[in-house]
């Protein structure tokens, strides 16, 4: 779609032309009409789809440059993302003179920010923790705020920023436009929408609108454990849940996979609550690529993007089968569901024949030499949590203050009453551990260990 079909100012159109933004991206085409009408909106589209300009154009067109007050606030999960957003906003703002965009992130000098704020700004881009600090100290006022943007809302939720966001919003006027941008879309995102938005329009980039797409393959094999390794080596899934029918099988399978250099954890009814939690946290934050589970143990497990489900044991009944495989291929991403059976189970497997299910022979599968599955992240446990008033921003701040670690190295942050879990990209885990162990978080020392 051409930008000129939208009710945009001539200056904005000329600038978009100069930037060689010849046409809207799909998400911009869907979102901009609503944004320009000042509606609340949830926009979901994958990374790189042009979400920044979607809200950026809206913010800038609504801006009253002569009114030198904060009119828009964009909250981002990390300093790096805030920098990127501010950069894109500045490019989009080139056509209007004197628009002041200020970045407020943790890890930067608070005093310097105080100085900048005393000269006022039109648009603030920042991380929730630092923005909240300025609001509490009254160095920032949202009295004239018109539009609030939650960018990368899913990532902010992942990083445990919900409380900070809620507090920031308590400073914002009720009459405002709230825009929520996210790469994924699930119940959690919907929940914050309900809390913070009014009658939000939901838009998704059309390529993401596809229904669940799950490739279903059945393999007849004689050695399931060995076949499983070959399957992983062939399909190279990012993350997998493998279902067994008994907890003994779950435990044994995890051990056998570990011997084959595949990082796997089992979850079953025999685990203590805290052990169960340790496993679930590690799987959800990408510190463990393979989870072995029984149906009961997997109940209530909500993983956003799961590339593969394996029925190591055929389930008792088609309903359980459907339930199991429905965990992959969500939000338009393609998923693979594989079921294993041995010769003596042919009759049971036959019940699944038909539809678009493929039946193949596992003997054609081979394992690649030296194949292993290692996690992208490693989890650090901090012996401190909500009861210690520890927040995601504090942990992020402690990790990134000296800049040898950036926000990109940090994954999901989960904060419980007395413990916090932080996923760190594997290659940075040593630096991160030292930093937390020998440094301080919120001027306090905490015990820290690798899970």
Partner from Mg ion, ligand ADP, none contacting 379, C-beta within 5 to 8 A by type: none
User: Least Å distance between CB 383 and ligand ADP?
Assistant: 36
Q: Does 51 bind Mg ion (CB under 5 A)?
A: yes
3-state class of 200 per DSSP?
A: coil
Partner from Mg ion, ligand ADP, none contacting 25, C-beta within 5 to 8 A by type: ligand ADP
47 vs 109 by CB, closer to ligand ADP = 47
3-state class of 407 per DSSP?
A: helix
Partner from ligand ADP, Mg ion, none contacting 53, C-beta within 5 to 8 A by type: ligand ADP
Alpha helix segments (H runs only) across 285-386: 318-325, 346-350
User: Least Å distance between CB 395 and Mg ion?
Assistant: 22
87 vs 276 by CB, closer to Mg ion = 87
50 vs 126 by CB, closer to ligand ADP = 50
Q: How far apart are CA 398 and CA 418, in angstroms?
A: 18
User: Least Å distance between CB 94 and ligand ADP?
Assistant: 13
Query: Which residue ranges make up the site for ligand ADP (CB under 6 A)?
Result: 21, 24-25, 28, 45, 47-53, 88
Partner from ligand ADP, Mg ion, none contacting 50, C-beta within 5 to 8 A by type: ligand ADP
Q: How far apart are CA 137 and CA 258, in angstroms?
A: 51
* Cβ atoms 297, 267 nearer than 8 A: yes
47 vs 118 by CB, closer to ligand ADP = 47
Sign of CA dihedral 11, 12, 17, 20: positive
DSSP line for 292-305: EE-TTTTTT---S-
Strands 41-44 and 177-182 turn out to be parallel
39 vs 90 by CB, closer to ligand ADP = 90
Q: Does 122 bind Mg ion (CB under 5 A)?
A: no
Partner from Mg ion, ligand ADP, none contacting 313, C-beta within 5 to 8 A by type: none
DSSP state of 206: G
Q: How many CA atoms lie within 13 A of 63 on its CB side?
A: 31
User: Least Å distance between CB 202 and ligand ADP?
Assistant: 16
16 vs 392 by CB, closer to ligand ADP = 16
DSSP state of 208: G
User: Least Å distance between CB 238 and ligand ADP?
Assistant: 19
Beta bridge partners of 335: 214
User: Least Å distance between CB 288 and Mg ion?
Assistant: 28
What angle is formed at CA 387 by the lines to CA 383 and CA 391, rounded to 5 degrees? 75
């Amino acid at each position: 779609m051409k930008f000129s079909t939208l009710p945009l100012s001539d200056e904005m159109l000329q600038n978009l032309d100069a930037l060689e933004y010849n046409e809207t991206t799909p998400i911009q085409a869907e979102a901009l009409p609503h944004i320009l009408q000042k509606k609340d909106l949830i926009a979901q589209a994958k990374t790189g789809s042009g979400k920044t300009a979607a809200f950026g154009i809206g913010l800038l067109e609504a801006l009253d440059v002569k009114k030198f007050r904060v009119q828009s606030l964009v909250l981002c999960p990390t300093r790096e993302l805030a920098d990127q957003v501010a950069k894109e906003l500045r490019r989009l703002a080139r056509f209007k003179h004197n628009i002041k965009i200020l970045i407020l992130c943790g890890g930067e000098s608070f005093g310097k920010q105080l100085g900048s704020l005393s000269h006022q700004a039109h648009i603030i881009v920042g991380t929730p923790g630092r923005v909240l600090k300025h609001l509490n100290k009254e160095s920032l006022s949202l009295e004239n705020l018109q539009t609030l943007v939650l960018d990368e809302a899913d990532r902010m939720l992942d990083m445990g920023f919900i409380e900070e966001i809620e507090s920031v919003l308590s400073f914002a006027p009720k009459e405002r436009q709230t825009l929520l941008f996210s790469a994924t879309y699930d119940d959690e995102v919907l929940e914050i929408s309900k809390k913070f938005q009014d009658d939000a329009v939901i838009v998704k980039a059309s390529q993401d609108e596809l229904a669940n797409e799950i490739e279903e393959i059945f393999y007849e094999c004689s050695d399931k454990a060995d076949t499983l390794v070959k399957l992983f080596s062939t399909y190279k899934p990012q993350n997998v849940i493998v279902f067994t029918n008994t907890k003994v099988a779950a435990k044994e399978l995890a051990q056998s996979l570990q011997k084959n250099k595949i990082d796997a954890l089992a979850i079953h009814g025999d685990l203590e609550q805290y052990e169960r939690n340790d496993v679930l946290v590690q799987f959800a934050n990408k510190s463990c690529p393979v989870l072995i589970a029984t149906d009961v143990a997997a109940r209530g497990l909500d993983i956003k993007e799961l590339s593969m489900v394996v029925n190591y044991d055929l389930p008792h009944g088609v309903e359980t089968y459907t339930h199991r495989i429905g965990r992959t291929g969500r939000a338009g991403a393609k998923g693979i569901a594989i079921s294993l059976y041995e010769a003596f189970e042919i009759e049971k497997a036959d019940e699944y024949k038909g539809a678009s299910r493929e039946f193949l022979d596992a003997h054609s599968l081979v394992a690649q030499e030296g194949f292993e599955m290692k996690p992208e992240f490693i989890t650090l446990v901090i012996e401190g949590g909500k009861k210690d008033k520890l927040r995601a921003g504090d942990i992020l701040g402690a990790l990134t203050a000296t800049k040898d670690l950036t926000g990109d190295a940090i994954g999901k942050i989960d904060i419980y009453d007395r413990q916090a879990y932080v996923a760190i990209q594997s290659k940075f885990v040593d630096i991160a551990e030292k930093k937390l162990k020998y440094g301080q978080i919120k001027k306090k020392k905490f015990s820290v260990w690798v899970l």
